[in-house]
Amino acid sequence: MAAAKHMAKPGQRVNSGHEDTRTDIGKRGWKKLAISVVAWFIAVLATAGLLLVGPLPFSDNPILGAAVARFAASLVLIVVLILLGGRSWLRITGSGLVYTFKRAWMLLLIGIVPAGISYFKAATGNGFPADFLPNLGLVALLCIGIGMLEEGLFRGIELNGLLAGLGGWRWGVLAAVFISSIMFGTAHVSQEGITSGAASVQAILKVVQSAMFGIVLCETCMHSRELGSAVIFHALNDFIMLSVSMGLQGTTTASSYVSTDQSTQVMIAYGLMIAVSLWPTIQALRALWSEQQVNRGAFME
C-alpha cells in the first residue's frame, strides 16, 4: 500500500531519487555563466578605473604606481572570485607548480634568449645603470601584480564562468578555453596603434601568440585546480622581458606590442614566438581532449 502512494498518475514522471540531474546542473551552469559574465564586465571596469587612478599618487615612480594599481585591482578580482564560488582556486600547490613549469617551460624561451643577449651586451659594453637593482625589485613587484591581475581575470573569473555553462561536454570545455584565451590575447593589443596593414598583421600575430600562452595556462589551471602556479609562471615570464626594458633600459611604460618603425622585425619576432609556443599548445590541447571531457569549473563545485 505504501508503494501505491508513489505510483505515478498517467503522464506523470516519477523521481526515484536516482535519476540523472544533468539537466538541473546545466540550468545552474548557464545561470552561473550569466552571472559570471556580468561580474567579469564589472571587474573589467573596476580594473580599468584602478589602473587609471592608482598610479597618480606615484607620479615620481611610475613602475611602483603601476604595481600598486595592479595589486589593488587584484584584490577586487579575489573578492569577485570568492563571491562566485571560486575560493578553491585561490591557492598554490607544489604539484601544480611542477606541472605548470613542466608543461609551459618552453614559453619562457621567448623572453630568455633576447634578455640574455641584452644582459650580455650590457655586461661586456657600457655596464648596468646605477639604479638597475632598485628598478629590478620594482619590476618584480609589478610582474607579480600583472600575473595576479591577468590570471584572476581570464583564467579565474572568465574561464570558470565559461566552464560553468559550457563544460558539460568535451567540445564545450574546449570552447571555454578558446574563448577565454582569445579574449586574453585581444587584451594585449590596443586599437589605437593599429594604423596600417603592417600594424594589423603585428596585432593579429600578437593575439595568436598570447592566446597560445593562454591555452597552455588554461590547461595547467584546470589540471591542478588552482591559480597560484599560473600566477607565478606568468609573473616570471613577464619579469624576464620587462627586466630588460624597464630594469636595464629604463623604460617606464609597457610595450604596445605594435611598432611602426620596425614592423618587419616585429612580425618576424612574433612568428618565432608562435613557432616556439606551438608544441606546448599542442600538448595542452591533447591533454584537454583526453582528460577534460567534462569540467564545470570551480564555480560549480
Please give the pLDDT value at position 190: 78
25-34 pLDDT, tens digit each: 888 999 999 9
In a domain, 80, yes or no: yes
Transcribe 65-112 into DSSP letters: HHHHHHHHHHHHHHHHHHHHT-GGGS---HHHHHHHHHHHHHHHHHHH
Question: Is residue 209 one of the residues assigned to a domain?
Answer: yes
Give the percent of the chain with pLDDT over 70: 89
| In a domain? residue 197 | yes
Specify which of 48-57, 171-180, 267-276 reaches the highest per-range mean pLDDT.
171-180
In tens, the pLDDT along 97-142 reads 999 999 999 999 999 998 999 999 899 988 888 888 989 999 999 9
Locate all alpha helices (DSSP H) within the chain, ordered by sequence. Answer: 22-53, 62-84, 94-124, 132-150, 159-166, 170-186, 197-224, 228-242, 263-291
Q: Please provide the DSSP assignment of 233-255 as one string.
A: HHHHHHHHHHIIIIIIS---S--
Q: Are 141 and 67 in contact (CB under 8 A)?
A: yes
> What is the crossing angle of helices 197-224 and 263-291, to 10°?
30
pLDDT at 8: 42
Number of domains in the chain: 1
Tell me what pLDDT residue 253 has. Answer: 67
Q: Which residues of 42-71 are buried (b: 16+ CB within 10 A; e: fewer)?
A: ebbebbeebbeebbeeeeebbbbbbbbbbb
Please choose, from the candidates 145, 274, 156, the residue with its C-alpha nearest in 3D space to the C-alpha of residue 204.
Answer: 274
What is the Cα–Cα distance from 200 to 177, expressed in whole angstroms?
24
User: Is residue 13 in a domain?
Assistant: no
Domain-located, residue 9? no
5: in domain: no
Structural domain including 272 reads 25-120+127-300
pTM of the model: 0.89
Domain membership flag for residue 203: yes
Q: Is residue 271 situated within a structural domain? A: yes
Please provide the average confidence, as pLDDT, over all residues in the chain.
88
- Measured in whole angstroms, the distance separating CA 196 from the mean position of its chain's CA atoms is 28
C-alpha cell at 72: 589593488
Per-residue confidence band for 11, with pLDDT thresholds at 50, 70 and 90: very low
